Amino acid sequence: MKLKVVYFGASLAGKSTNVKVLYDMLKKRGVAKGDYISMETDENRTLFVEMFLSSFNIDGQNIDVKILTTPGQFRLHPLRKVIMKGVDGLVFVVDSSKEREHINFLVLRETAAVLKEQGFNLYALPVVVQYNKRDLPDALPIDELEPVCNPWGTEYVEAVATEGKGVLETFQAIVKKILLEKACAKT
């Protein structure tokens, strides 16, 4: 079975940090396949995509998961369409800081529009919300973030991606969610 998971979110929310840290964690566990592919601008910002493959076995079934990020910078938004093609599930990486509160909402709205053009409904896809940067002094309480950033009312994970906190939990949560959804669709 082949799955595609895309990490999206505002510029500098920590999408690339998540995917890089996840790659290192999965590599150590022997379930990351091949290299970590990254295309960055000179300032270490995502230019096109970061991606890698994870391959594991559950109950005798091989599962290949392609993990990708989107570029958060506004000028690169047209590229998101290509990256989102055929997506099975999404991780919404939210910057918890007060100053980025409004941006998170704008990204949601824009991502919904991009997916709609491709015949997908963002609000009907499997999603896990990750509240990242919980270490920041101005991190908003989860109660304040939830009404804006979690219109799905879905599972959320608190994270400090730079320290690896919540990174693996987020990935496990989205894979479980996708598999559950696929299992339910079959029955």
Ligand X SMILES: Nc1nc2c(ncn2[C@@H]2O[C@H](COP(=O)(O)OP(=O)(O)OP(=O)(O)O)[C@@H](O)[C@H]2O)c(=O)[nH]1
Contact positions toward Mg ion, by CB under 5 A? 15-16, 46
Q: Please choose which of ligand X, Mg ion, none residue 162 contacts, taking the beta carbon within 5 to 8 angstroms, the exact cut-off set by kind.
A: ligand X
Size of the site for ligand X (CB under 6 A): 21
Among 25, 31, 33, 45, binds ligand X (CB under 6 A): 45
Q: Is 72 in the site for ligand X (CB under 6 A)?
A: yes
- Name the minimum Å distance from CB 173 to ligand X: 17
DSSP-based three-state secondary structure for 137: coil
Residue number, 104 or 150, with CB nearest to ligand X? 104
- Phi, psi (deg, nearest 5) at residue 159: -145, 155
- Phi, psi (deg, nearest 5) at residue 8: -125, 165
Among 13, 128, 140, 179, binds ligand X (CB under 6 A): 13
Q: Please choose which of Mg ion, ligand X, none residue 89 contacts, taking the beta carbon within 5 to 8 angstroms, the exact cut-off set by kind.
A: none
Residue number, 54 or 170, with CB nearest to ligand X? 170
Tokens (6 digits) for 104: 């998170």
- Name the minimum Å distance from CB 161 to Mg ion: 11
Q: Is 161 in the site for ligand X (CB under 6 A)?
A: yes
Question: Quick one: angle between helices 101-117 and 142-149, nearest 10?
Answer: 30
Q: Is 133 in the site for ligand X (CB under 6 A)?
A: yes
Question: Which of these, 19, 87, 81, lies nearest to 53 by C-alpha position?
Answer: 19
Tokens (6 digits) for 54: 């994870």
For residue 70, what are the contacts with CB-CB under 8 A and spacing of at least 6? 6, 7, 8, 9, 15, 46, 49, 79, 80, 83, 84
Among 3, 8, 14, 173, binds ligand X (CB under 6 A): 14
Cβ(88)–Cβ(3) below 8 Å: yes
Q: Which residues bind ligand X (CB under 6 A)?
A: 9, 11-17, 45-46, 69, 71-73, 132-133, 135-136, 160-162
